[in-house]
Amino acid sequence: MLISFEGIDGSGKSTQLARTVAWLKSLGYDVLLTREPGGTAAGEQIRAQLLDPRSHLSPRAEFLLYSASRAQLVDEVLLPHLRKPRAIALVDRFADSSTVYQGGGRELGIEEVEAVNMFVTGNLSPDLTLYLDVDYATSVSRRERAGSEPDRLERSPREFFESVREAYWELCERHAARVRRIDASGDEDTVFAQVQAAIAERLPVKP
């Protein structure tokens, strides 16, 4: 089973993923946690380039760098893991991030990006995608509290995040069977309860 976590920066993906890993391990699953871009040696080099505020990338070049990191992650990490018994792979962002950021936010076109995504992943699609929905103000205040320097994408203007958020909403409608919207504005426990409920419904082997 492959589960991806999506949402704008500061929505709580990494926080909820850490709790999800511990929970699923306690149920006896073989859990792999990885992230995008990155997750492999080649992918981490690509990640550094993508997040570096000094990088000047055209929208198509940016999309193809994400795609290269993703293809490597699928071949080197995800497919081998998913062949194991009781395996669950959790990814911090996956192809939907390109759909909404490069297709929506950067205006390359949702359908164009989704078509390339299929080639890049070899048609590997998450069984379940949890979209952690927060508004821009919540995202900014959480990031400020975390106190880290904003990366290249986090420096984007507010309008960019608003268009990404709208693209996430559209994603929930287009892929209603796969993508579940989680209200991520509440405290960590409240959000985690929703995450657990959504995953428990789909567990291949019931806890």
Ligand X SMILES: Nc1ncnc2c1ncn2[C@@H]1O[C@H](COP(=O)(O)OP(=O)(O)OP(=O)(O)O)[C@@H](O)[C@H]1O
- Could you say which of Mg ion, ligand X, none residue 45 binds, taking C-beta under 5 to 8 angstroms by partner kind? none
**Minimum distance of Mg ion from residue 14's CB (angstroms):** 3
Contacts of 4 (CB under 8 A, 6+ apart): 90, 91, 93, 94, 96, 126, 128, 129, 130
**Interface positions with Mg ion (CB under 5 A):** 13-14
Looking at the Cβ atoms of 30 and 49, the one nearer to ligand X is: 49
Site for ligand X in 121-180 (CB under 6 A): 142, 145-146
- Site membership for ligand X, residue 181 (CB under 6 A): no
**Minimum distance of ligand X from residue 69's CB (angstroms):** 15
- Could you say which of ligand X, Mg ion, none residue 12 binds, taking C-beta under 5 to 8 angstroms by partner kind? ligand X
Please give the sequence-ordered ranges of beta strands (E in DSSP) within the chain, or none if there are none: 2-6, 30-35, 87-92, 128-133, 179-183
Looking at the Cβ atoms of 14 and 26, the one nearer to Mg ion is: 14
Of 2-10, 78-86, 96-104, 113-121, which part binds ligand X (CB under 6 A)? Answer: 2-10
Looking at the Cβ atoms of 13 and 70, the one nearer to Mg ion is: 13
- Site membership for ligand X, residue 13 (CB under 6 A): yes
Looking at the Cβ atoms of 11 and 40, the one nearer to ligand X is: 11
Question: Is the separation of the CB atoms in 79 and 142 below 8 Å?
Answer: no
Question: Closest by alpha carbon to 165, among 143, 194, 139, 126?
Answer: 139
- Could you say which of Mg ion, ligand X, none residue 7 binds, taking C-beta under 5 to 8 angstroms by partner kind? ligand X
Q: Locate tokens 């990366």: which residue?
A: 151
Q: Choose, by CB under 6 A, the member of 2, 4, 12, 96 that binds ligand X.
A: 12
Question: Is the separation of the CB atoms in 126 and 94 below 8 Å?
Answer: yes
Q: Locate tokens 């911090």: which residue?
A: 92
The rounded distance, in Å, linking the Cα atoms of 55 and 73 is: 22
Residue 134, Cβ density class (10 Å: 0-12 exposed, 13-18 middle, ≥19 buried): buried
Question: Is the separation of the CB atoms in 90 and 34 below 8 Å?
Answer: yes
Q: Choose, by CB under 6 A, the member of 2, 4, 6, 10 that binds ligand X.
A: 10
Question: Is the separation of the CB atoms in 36 and 94 below 8 Å?
Answer: yes
Looking at the Cβ atoms of 114 and 138, the one nearer to Mg ion is: 138
Query: Residues interacting with ligand X, by CB under 6 A?
Result: 7, 9-15, 142, 145-146, 187-188, 191
